[in-house]
């Protein structure tokens, strides 16, 4: 049975390594996962005053997440934590109180970094934020993608064979995780 997966990329930069990795995860995903990139850069900053008359961008985002069967977060690490745009998207989806679109959505997270830790801080902060929202997170395998700038082939878009095999295995594990729900 096909599952609809929302893919959220933490970096808003057009040529972001996280976006490139997300595209590779989408390309390598099993055919039973219908992967859809959900843009978050257009979401106005969360402000509780707007819950009464929410911006259309919030409503569209909430509806997209609500209609998905699962979520894949792919993000860099900014200052040892979650990029602001991704945290804003998490907040927008969690509100108004009692109407969170995240509740019960199985998810996984892959983080990237040009450094050696592969976005460790961001990975765990994303987990912390969404587990509070009752999002069951895939525990294994973990994906901390370090030295991300060295992983792409000459085309700058596709990853080398070793990384491709890791990402393929990661997506097979994600498929199994999603099918538990």
Q: What digits encode the pLDDT tens for the residues 35-71?
A: 999 999 999 999 999 999 999 999 999 999 999 999 9
pLDDT for 157: 86
Domain region containing 95: 3-178
The CATH number assigned to the domain holding 81 equals: 3.40.50.360
The Cα–Cα gap between 14 and 125 comes to 23
Q: CA-CA distances (angstroms) from residue 37 to 19, 27, 71, 80, 113?
A: 9, 12, 10, 24, 20
Total tally of structural domains belonging to the chain:
1
pLDDT tens-digit series, residues 87-106: 999 999 999 999 999 999 99
Residue whose token pair is 């994600």: 174
- Kind and range of the H or E run holding 76: strand 70-76
pLDDT for 59: 98
């Amino acid at each position: 049975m096909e599952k609809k997966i929302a893919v959220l990329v933490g970096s808003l930069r057009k040529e972001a390594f996280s976006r490139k990795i997300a595209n590779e995860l989408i390309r390598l995903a099993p055919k039973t996962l219908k992967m859809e990139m959900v843009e978050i850069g257009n979401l106005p900053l969360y402000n509780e005053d707007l819950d009464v008359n929410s911006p259309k961008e919030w409503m569209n985002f909430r509806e997209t997440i609500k209609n998905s069967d699962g979520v894949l977060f792919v993000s860099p690490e900014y200052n040892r934590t979650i990029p602001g745009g991704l945290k804003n998207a998490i907040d927008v989806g969690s509100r108004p109180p009692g109407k969170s679109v995240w509740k019960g959505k199985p998810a996984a997270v892959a983080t990237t970094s040009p450094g050696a830790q592969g976005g460790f801080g961001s990975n765990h902060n994303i987990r912390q934020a969404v587990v509070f929202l009752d999002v069951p997170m895939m525990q294994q395998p973990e994906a901390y993608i370090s030295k991300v700038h060295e992983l792409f082939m000459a085309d700058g878009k596709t990853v080398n064979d070793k990384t491709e095999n890791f990402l393929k295995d990661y997506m097979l594990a994600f498929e199994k995780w999603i099918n538990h729900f």
